[in-house]
Amino acid sequence: MLIYPLTDDQKLLLDLIKQIGEEYIKPYALEWDEKEIYDEKPIKALAHADLFGIIIPEEYGGLGWGSFEMCLAVEYLSYYCAGVSTTYAASFLGCYPILLFGNKEQKAKYLPFIATGKKLCAFALTEPQAGSDAFAIKTTAKKEGDYYILNGMKQWITNGGIADIYIVIAMTDPAKGARGASAFIVEKDDPGFSIGKKEKKLGLRASVTTELFFNDCKIPRDRLLAREGMGFIVALKTLDYARCGAGAQALGIAQAAMEVALKHATSRVQFGQPIYNFQAVSHTFAEMAMKIEAARALVYNVAKYIDSGAKDFSGASSMAKCLATDTAMWVTERAIQMMGGYGYMRDYPVQKYFRDAKCLQIYEGTNEIQKNVIARELLKYYK
């Protein structure tokens, strides 16, 4: 509803996303969801359009843009299918550690392939006993000569099995607790690395989520990111950058849900008139629009704040993720209610939007954890 000033390049970006969405996603999204299919065609289309290079510097073959452009792309992809946007955004999540903490050799080796979309990324932190309590990870990495030997497992990893590059957080010195974790680059063909079962999910079914197993997985020591003991710093900073993307996903889902429900409400006649004419219905849509625009303004502002070179934006990033994803959950639930029985049927997309939105309140840090971060950050300014 509101018009945000965009550059010509940003407008071109949205035109490309719309073209890909209309041709490669919209006709198939419900089928992919129903059959739990990952289809690589839209991902290849995004790669062909150079859209995997949004956050990657030009020197490595990227477009040299920032968080704001990433959010625009993710939001508009999510409008068509949040499962596809999850695959796309998760590759950025796996790319950020290399971009932020990789040395020159690591960046030169991996970033050009990521920028072209020839290699997808994944970020592997979560384990069965380590969700919100990330410090409870048990995967280990033992240094032996010029190699590290990884043992353990990761759970609920987006892009598991389809990614070529995995950023894995493992304990190099468990006795040091959080200071004993390190971050590693693992490649899909490394010996001792294998992919577990594909998870059956409530939503985001067009994306792939799996377990990862490390059984004496041997990787060269030059695949260590930063230095030993930096693992959780790598993870936390990566999530700070990525959470705006989750907020952007929520915007796309909420916008799509509102539009589908609005179309229904203006054409569905009951008691001799469109149901939109009833104040209880029209006021609900007014609330949807207000909440979506408020969340969009926050996500966009935080993304631009990150791009300004800000050093400390944990609280802001958490706000953007938490508010936008809570908004998407509320909007999609209301969209179903506004459509009544039609909204509950799988022939219509609003039930998919509702299921997709739920995961956004959980992954990349639950919204309860985001509130912990926000509350902690408040003390820096108002104590």
pLDDT tens digits, one per residue of 113-150: 999 999 999 999 999 998 888 889 999 999 999 999 99
Residue 358 near residue 203 (C-beta atoms within 8 A): yes
Average pLDDT (17-31) is: 98
Strand partners, 195: 212
Residue 124 near residue 169 (C-beta atoms within 8 A): yes
- Reply yes or no on whether 58 is catalytic: no
Average pLDDT (235-255) is: 97
Average pLDDT (290-299) is: 98
Which one of 23, 364, 368, 377 is the catalytic residue? Answer: 364
* Domain edges within the chain: 8-118, 122-229, 232-382
Of the chain, the percentage scoring pLDDT greater than 70 comes to: 99
How high is the pLDDT of residue 132? 87
122-229, what's its fold?
A: Butyryl-CoA Dehydrogenase, subunit A; domain 2 (2.40.110)
Nearest-angstrom CA–CA distance, 38 and 200: 12
How high is the pLDDT of residue 164? 98
Nearest-angstrom CA–CA distance, 243 and 252: 15
Report the mean per-residue pLDDT for the chain: 96
How high is the pLDDT of residue 382? 80
Q: How confident is residue 241, by pLDDT bands cut at 50, 70 and 90?
A: very high
How high is the pLDDT of residue 342? 96
pTM (2 decimals)? Answer: 0.96
- Tell me the three-class secondary structure of the chain, residue by residue: CCCCCCCHHHHHHHHHHHHHHHHHHCCCHHHHHHHCCCCCHHHHHHHHCCHHHCCCCHHHCCCCCCHHHHHHHHHHHHHHCHHHHHHHHHHHHHHHHHHHHCCHHHHHHHHHHHHHCCCCEEEECCECCECCCHHHCCCEEEEECCEEEEEEEEEEEECCCCCCEEEEEEECCHHHHHHHEEEEEEECCCCCEEEEEECCCCCCCCCCEEEEEEEEEEEEHHHEECCCCCHHHHHHHHHHHHHHHHHHHHHHHHHHHHHHHHHHHHHCEECCEEHHHCHHHHHHHHHHHHHHHHHHHHHHHHHHHHHCCCCCCHHHHHHHHHHHHHHHHHHHHHHHHHHCHHHHCCCCCHHHHHHHHHHHCCCCCCHHHHHHHHHHHHHHHHC
The listed CATH number (3.40.50.10440, 1.10.540.10, 3.30.470.20, 3.30.70.890) that belongs to domain 8-118: 1.10.540.10
How high is the pLDDT of residue 381? 79
- pLDDT of 307 > 70? The answer is yes
- pLDDT of 347 > 80? The answer is yes
Average pLDDT (152-163) is: 98
Q: What contacts 382, CB < 8 A, 6 or more positions away?
A: none
Q: How confident is residue 2, by pLDDT bands cut at 50, 70 and 90?
A: confident
- pLDDT of 270 > 90? The answer is yes
Query: Could you tell me the maximum CA-CA distance found in the chain, to the nearest angstrom?
Result: 80
Q: What contacts 2, CB < 8 A, 6 or more positions away?
A: 293, 296, 297
Q: Nearest to residue 14, comparing CAs of 71, 99, 86?
A: 71
232-382, what's its fold?
A: Butyryl-CoA Dehydrogenase, subunit A; domain 3 (1.20.140)
* Digit-coded pLDDT (tens) for 171-224: 999 999 889 999 999 999 999 999 999 999 999 999 999 999 999 999 999 999
Q: How confident is residue 228, by pLDDT bands cut at 50, 70 and 90?
A: very high
How high is the pLDDT of residue 135? 81
* Digit-coded pLDDT (tens) for 36-76: 999 999 999 999 999 999 999 999 999 999 999 999 999 99
How high is the pLDDT of residue 1? 63
Residue 122 near residue 160 (C-beta atoms within 8 A): yes
How high is the pLDDT of residue 171? 97
Return the number of other C-beta atoms located less than 10 Å from residue 346's C-beta: 10
End-to-end Cα separation, the chain, in angstroms = 38
Nearest-angstrom CA–CA distance, 334 and 258: 9
